[in-house]
Amino acid sequence: MGSFKSFALSNPMVEVLTKLHYISPTPIQEEVIPKVLKGENMIVKAETGSGKTHAFLIPLIDKLAEDQGLQVIVLAPTRELARQTYNFARAIIVAFPKLKVTLATGGREIEILTASNVPHLLITTPGRLMKLSEDSQINIHRVQTIVLDEADMLVDAGFLPIIDQYITKIEKPHILAFSATFPKALEPLIKKFINPDFIIDQDPGLIAPLRVKHHLVDIGFKPIPEMVASFIDLRRPYLMLVFASRVATVKEIYDHLMHQGYNVGTLHGELPMRMRASMIRRIRENKFAVIVCSDMAARGLDLPDVSDVLSVDLPPQIEFYMHRAGRTGRYKNAGDSFLFYAREPESSLEKLAAYHVKFDFWMLRNGELTIQNERPRRDKGQIEDVSLNRDIQKAIRQTRTTTVKPGYKKKVKIAVDKVKRRHKRLAIKGKVRAQLDRRFKAIDKQEN
């Protein structure tokens, strides 16, 4: 491995990197930095914790011209990711007193961005970029470089039309796209705008984080919040991230753990801005042992000490499981990623094999966590139980209110009984239909 001195970087840049204890570049930085310095378009796929943010910040800051205005815009899908990138950039740009970097994610930050105070490097979200442009606070036409950080998330969040709107205003833009995955949804963006000189895939043959062990946990058909609490009691993690695909499930787990007295935080897209900022601050101050979160809210959150990741389900895009697992096992530490298994289709689990994910098998029953020799298989009756349990949980959520009111338990019981009766009727109809089918087939055979 080389050093940052081997790149065509300025002396102030090399000196500030040394002060920040960045001596040797990571593999992705070795590939990316020289190409960014040459102004080449590229798409980069790299796992979380690979150093990809510094891979574009270092050369782009080093190329900034003091006598020009806004030259680089970094677009991030969330405020938290934007602020994290800004903090990295601010630590580097101190070596260049005449250069200015600005974070624009909220009202106050946008207010102080005046015509006489335009930065050389702007870090923002697509929504805020649109507001800045509409208010004539920035001139997008003179921008030279656009960085799409976590490009797959930008597309998933529906920001493609905004990105389209502003990239087309720039003549021959220098575009860098960084992503942990290359889903098909990225293809229109790649074909229309980027026209990459290089597609850098850090490790196309191995996507699963190398230092993470994967465990499949059979929880039967018990309510998920209760099983999460039981798992925490048995596992006693130093710091655990609990992931769920639906915000409703995130809230349900968080509420249950809070009610049971656990030291728990939460992150999801429906948190008010102030509460989210407060929660992020408390998370960074290590105030929690457990954080319950959604995929979008936790993406890019840089927490070096996560000991365990627990997924209560698989995300709709299977590759997002890799993002979850990538929250642990960072900075040469070992980590464990657990996946609750009861409702997951066999096909979804088999898809993870394409990502070189190898599970061992555990069982959580009656307050005990034991290792199993093989993965449990679900028969038809168990699959029907999954459907029943899912509908019961849905009925409970619909009955739940923010405050406990008189008759609450009775209303929940009525709703659950109604679901059970409906499933029983459907099961009876299914059996009757199957019996009739067998009779008709028998009659046909006799007649023929």
In DSSP notation, 201-238 reads ES-TT--S-TTEEEEEEE-TTS-HHHHHHHHHHHH--S
With cut-offs at 50, 70 and 90, classify the pLDDT of residue 135: confident
- Find how far residue 414's CA is from the centre of its chain: 37
The residue with tokens 């009779």 is: 439
pLDDT at position 132: 84
- C-alpha to C-alpha distance for 313 and 178, rounded to whole angstroms: 26
Q: Where in the chain is the domain with CATH 3.40.50.300?
A: 4-201, 212-377
What is the SS3 assignment for 38?
Answer: coil
If phi > 0 it is left, if psi is from -120 to 50 it is alpha, else beta; for residue 186 that is: alpha
- Choose between 110 and 155: higher pLDDT: 155
Cα Rg, the chain, nearest whole Å: 26
pLDDT in the model for residue 400: 61
Owner of token pair 């979200």: 125
Beta bridge partners of 310: 242, 338
Q: Which residue has the tokens 């998370």?
A: 283
How do residues 35-62 score in pLDDT, each as one tens digit?
999 999 888 887 666 788 999 999 999 9
Spatial distance between the Cα atoms of 51 and 29, rounded to a whole number of angstroms: 7
Using DSSP, state whether 347 is helix, strand or coil: helix
Find out whether 89 and 158 touch, Cβ atoms under 8 Å.
no
How far is the first Cα of the chain from the last one, in angstroms, to the nearest whole number? 79
Report pLDDT digits (tens) over 343-401.
556 667 777 777 778 888 899 988 888 888 766 555 444 444 555 566 666 666 666 65
Beta bridge partners of 198: 42
Q: Which of the four pLDDT bands, split at 50, 70 and 90, describes residue 105?
A: confident
Question: CA 35 to CA 317: how far, in whole Å?
Answer: 31
Give the angle subtended at the CA of 327 by the CAs of 323 and 330, to the nearest 5°.
Answer: 120
Cβ–Cβ < 8 Å for 243, 312 = yes
Residues 294, 296: Cα–Cα separation, whole Å? 6
pLDDT at 85: 93
pLDDT per position as a tens digit, 226-249 = 999 999 999 999 999 999 999 999
- Report CA torsion sign: 339, 344, 346, 348: negative
Percent composition of the chain: helix, strand, coil (DSSP 3-state, to 5)? 45, 15, 35
Predicted pLDDT at 261: 92
Backbone angles phi, psi at 12, to 5 degrees: -60, -35
- Residue by residue, DSSP assigns 106-138 as SHHHHHT--GGG--SEEEE-HHHHHHHHHTT-S
Collect all residues with Cβ–Cβ distance below 8 Å to 11 and sequence separation of at least 6.
none
State which H helix or E strand residue 416 sits in: helix 408-447
Is 205:174 a contact under the CB 8 Å cutoff?
A: no
Please indicate whether residue 352 or residue 104 has the higher confidence score (pLDDT).
104
Torsion of CA 290, 294, 297, 298, to 10 degrees: 50
**In this predicted structure, which of 11-15, 54-58, 110-114, 333-337 has the lowest mean pLDDT?**
110-114
Q: At what angle are helices 79-93 and 52-63 packed, to 10 degrees?
A: 50
pLDDT tens track for 244-269: 999 999 999 999 999 999 999 998 88
CATH number among 3.40.50.300, 3.30.365.10, 3.50.50.60, 1.10.274.30, domain 4-201: 3.40.50.300
**All residues at 6 or more sequence positions from 66 whose CB lies less than 8 Å from its CB, including other chains:** 96, 98, 99, 120
| Mean pLDDT across 293-317 | 81
Of 89-98, 122-131, 154-163, where does mean pLDDT reach its minimum? 154-163
Q: What are phi and psi of 98, to 5 degrees?
A: -90, 0
pTM of the model: 0.66
Residue of 73, 107, 90, 112 whose CA lies nearest to 273? 107
Find the farthest-apart pair of alpha carbons in the chain and give their distance in angstroms, rounded. Answer: 95
What residues contact 354, with CB distance under 8 A and at least 6 apart?
none
Instruction: Look at residue 96 in the predicted model and tell me its pLDDT.
Output: 94
Distance, in Å, from the CA atom of 10 to the CA atom of 313, rounded to the nearest integer, reads 48
In the predicted model, what is the mean pLDDT of the chain? Answer: 81
CA–CA separation, 196 and 177 (whole Å): 9
3-state secondary structure of 260: coil
Q: What's the topology of domain 212-377? A: Rossmann fold (3.40.50)
pLDDT of residue 405 exceeding 90: no
Cα–Cα distance measured from residue 208 to residue 218, given in angstroms and rounded to the nearest whole number: 22
**pLDDT, position 423:** 66
Please answer whether residues 342 and 315 qualify as being in contact, where contact means their C-beta atoms are separated by less than 8 angstroms.
no
